[in-house]
Amino acid sequence: MLFIHFDGLSFSPFYNTGAEGAKRIWGDATGDLWSVGNGGTMAHYSNGAWTKLASGTSLPIQDIWGGVNPTTGQEEILAVASNFWHFRRQRQSCQISGNTVTAVNDSGLALALSSVWFIPGWKYFVGGSGLFVTSSIGNNWDVDTLMSPSQYTFSIRGTAKNDIFMVGGYGLVSHWNGETLRQYTELGSFYGNYYSVSFKGNTVAAVGLMPGSTVDSYAVILVGTRK
């Protein structure tokens, strides 16, 4: 699997020899990265080399996120796996520590999952067929009654407790400001999905697909600027 790296000036190839069909990549530094993907593939990049990890699942791993817990000082990394397109849906959540992967409690989660995001020591979110939350890794998951959008959540990302974006099915774009959830209905709905969202500062970007009139689909890129 080929990744492309941008250093602010130019793009260059960045190969991942450990995880074919990679879906997501996360890292706290350019020299310490994790990638996850189809067939339960998972790899860790450290000291200039990729190491393939035993994830303990053959399900497609949909997303990965991590951060340092300010209370314990420990790095916490979570990944979620789900074959949500399959008629016999299955799920699994796991925690990564170095090159060790262990399953964690997934009680309360839906079978269709697509995203994970959290602020260590505050709240841990998993999105998919619903939005789920827990206050500690290993606890049961509950349906989030405050932030849950009305459509399927393919991706959730945030920068703070009061600055969280979610995108998903039928053109879902929503934002949590710490008190209320706003869904950007003025963008209009469509028979396509936004599959990923990322933002920094006042700029947010989402990417997805719009079904075409034949078997072809069209890429959709949404860019927003906060003023």
Does the pLDDT at position 91 exceed 90?
Answer: yes
pLDDT digits (tens, 9 = 90+) for 178-195: 999 999 988 877 788 999
Q: Write down the pTM of the prediction.
A: 0.90
Does the pLDDT at position 21 exceed 60?
Answer: yes
Q: For the range 166-169, what are the long-range contacts, defined as Cβ-Cβ under 8 Å and sequence gap of 24 or more?
A: 166/127, 166/131, 166/197, 167/194, 167/195, 167/196, 167/197, 167/206, 167/208, 168/114, 168/127, 168/193, 168/194, 169/193
Return the half-sphere exposure (C-beta side, CA atoms, 13 A cut-off) of residue 187. Answer: 20
60 secondary structure, DSSP code: P
Does the pLDDT at position 213 exceed 70?
Answer: no
DSSP string of 133-145? EESSTTSPPEE-T
pLDDT digits (tens, 9 = 90+) for 23-67: 898 988 767 888 898 889 898 888 878 888 889 999 999 999 999
**Pair 121, 73: CB distance under 8 Å:** no
pLDDT, mean of residues 119-127: 97
